[in-house]
């Protein structure tokens, strides 16, 4: 039986692993005697939740794509058996701003069939320079599996498509962290009951929820018909009236004579509303504040020790809208990159990040021999920036602006159209 600690075990908070064990029967035929017998075999399913900021992204076809390598090893501690495998996964973040707001994490699921026994597993996830590991032990005994372990999920829905998170005709999205923020209204449970004798009677199911002090805050009875030898059960628990905190839910299964057949429990946490403070580690563009500081201020920041930088950044983002500025960085990276240079490092990208989207953009082509394609950005507050594609390679240089803190380049005025030069003069 997998204990509660094993269900939630993780070496670090880099990612979450929730192993869930199911049981099935296999027929073994003795070719000498011609007899056949059934034996139990178990499927251990590893549900892995990876926070989006723990992955390394690159832009592919205008999308933010992260590639991850999952190295998996399980060792039988009772016999000389082991399995090593490597999985390759790819994840996409349409918007870092939205991913940060919802604290997105990606789900991947894999597993294998094993006999009863004691096992040790290790899972390594690498993406770019990020490498994280989790390892633990699992003990599986047949007598503990009249029912499977309980899978905590954030969604269970009917689904006829070919989706990898499917069980029968259900799409089940695991929630490996067992932590539910204000973005969720319900908690879903999925489990299976085994060795049922189908008849006209019913099984009695009781769901008991306790808080971290052991106080029962709810007990919900259910009855199911005994239709099949093995039956899959799902249950939804509303969190609307539940306060933030740690909870344990127990599933107790009894027959029609109130004799206990199986009992399993698992835990979950309801967190308080997500804090608006942005974490120092891992957030995209979090330390990209150069454009919003003077030269001396930024030099002062760069010379700080790491703890000082962390405190400085927290104060900075407490006074500025991280999500809005991160969205500017995303837009600049997508639309203004030049070769290997990130979009926010180009002239147009830097201005876009610092001042936001212009209210009007005037674009034009060559008017005479020395003029070049240009973009004239205008803001309703009177700010104006003129960028010119000097070399005709779509690399636009800031040539003129009326903003005091920005630098114009008079030697390049000859590439401006006559109308802009007259305005400057």
Confidence (pLDDT) at 281:
56
Query: What architecture does CATH give domain 1-144?
Result: Sandwich (2.60)
- Same fold: 1-144 with 146-274: yes
Domain boundaries along the sequence of the chain: 1-144, 146-274, 275-336, 358-425
Confidence (pLDDT) at 371:
61
CA distance 117 to 69: 28
Confidence (pLDDT) at 289:
93
Give pLDDT tens digits along the chain (425 positions): 332 222 333 334 478 999 999 999 888 787 777 788 888 999 999 999 998 888 888 878 778 899 999 999 999 999 888 999 999 999 998 877 778 777 788 999 999 999 999 999 999 999 887 788 999 999 999 999 999 999 999 998 887 666 678 888 888 999 999 999 877 889 999 999 999 999 888 999 999 999 999 999 999 999 999 999 999 999 999 888 888 999 999 999 999 888 999 999 999 999 866 445 555 456 788 889 999 998 899 999 999 998 898 889 888 988 888 888 988 999 999 899 888 889 999 999 999 999 999 988 888 765 555 567 889 999 988 899 999 998 878 889 999 999 988 999 999 988 887 778 887 77
pTM exceeds cut of 0.85: no
User: Which letter, b or e, does each residue of 356-394 get, where b requires 16 or more Cβ atoms within 10 Å of its Cβ?
Assistant: eebeeeeeeeeeeeebbbbbbbbbeeebbbbbbbbeeee
User: In the CATH hierarchy, which fold is given to the domain comprising 146-274?
Assistant: Immunoglobulin-like (2.60.40)
Confidence (pLDDT) at 160:
66
Confidence (pLDDT) at 400:
94
Q: What angle do CA 1, 113, 133 make, to 5 degrees?
A: 75
* Cβ contact 209:218 at 8 Å: yes
What are the distances in angstroms from CA 425 to CA 31, 226, 410, 418, 419?
Answer: 99, 89, 11, 11, 10
Confidence (pLDDT) at 6:
28
């Amino acid at each position: 039986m997998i204990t509660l600690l094993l269900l939630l075990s993780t070496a670090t908070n880099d990612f979450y692993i929730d192993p869930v064990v199911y049981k099935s029967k296999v027929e073994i035929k003795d070719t000498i005697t011609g007899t056949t017998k059934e034996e139990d075999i178990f499927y251990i399913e590893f549900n892995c939740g990876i926070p989006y900021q723990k992955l390394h992204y690159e832009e592919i076809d205008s999308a933010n794509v992260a590639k991850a390598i999952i190295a998996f090893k399980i060792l039988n501690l009772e016999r000389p058996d082991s399995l090593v495998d490597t999985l390759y996964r790819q994840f996409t973040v349409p918007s870092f701003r939205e991913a940060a707001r919802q604290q997105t994490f990606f789900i991947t699921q894999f597993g294998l069939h094993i006999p009863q026994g004691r096992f040790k597993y290790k899972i390594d996830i690498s993406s770019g320079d990020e490498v994280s590991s989790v390892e633990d032990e699992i003990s599986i005994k047949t007598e503990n599996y009249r029912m499977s372990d309980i899978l905590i999920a954030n969604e269970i829905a009917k689904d006829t498509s070919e989706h990898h998170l499917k069980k029968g005709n259900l799409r089940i999205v695991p929630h490996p962290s067992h932590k539910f923020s204000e973005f969720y209204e319900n908690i879903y449970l999925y489990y299976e009951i085994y060795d049922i004798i189908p008849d006209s009677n019913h099984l009695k199911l009781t769901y008991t929820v306790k808080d971290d002090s052991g106080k029962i805050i709810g007990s919900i009875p259910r009855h199911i018909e005994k239709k099949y030898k093995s039956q899959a059960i799902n249950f939804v628990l509303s969190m609307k009236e539940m306060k933030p905190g740690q909870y344990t839910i127990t599933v107790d299964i009894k027959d029609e004579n109130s004799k206990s057949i199986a009992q399993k429990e698992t835990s979950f946490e309801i967190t308080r509303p997500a804090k608006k403070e942005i974490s120092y580690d891992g957030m995209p563009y979090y330390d990209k504040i150069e454009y919003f500081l003077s030269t001396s201020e930024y030099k002062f920041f760069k010379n700080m020790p790491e703890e000082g930088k962390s405190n400085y950044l927290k104060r900075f983002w407490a006074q500025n809208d991280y999500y809005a500025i991160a969205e500017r960085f995303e837009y600049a990276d997508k639309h203004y990159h030049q070769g290997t240079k990130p979009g926010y490092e180009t002239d147009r990208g830097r201005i876009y990040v610092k001042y936001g989207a212009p209210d009007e953009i005037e674009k034009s082509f060559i008017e005479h021999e020395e003029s070049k394609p240009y973009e004239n950005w205008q803001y309703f507050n009177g700010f104006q920036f003129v960028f010119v594609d000097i070399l005709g390679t779509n690399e636009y240089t800031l040539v003129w602006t009326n903003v005091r803190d920005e630098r114009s380049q008079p030697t390049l005025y000859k590439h401006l159209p006559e109308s802009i030069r007259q305005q400057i003069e």
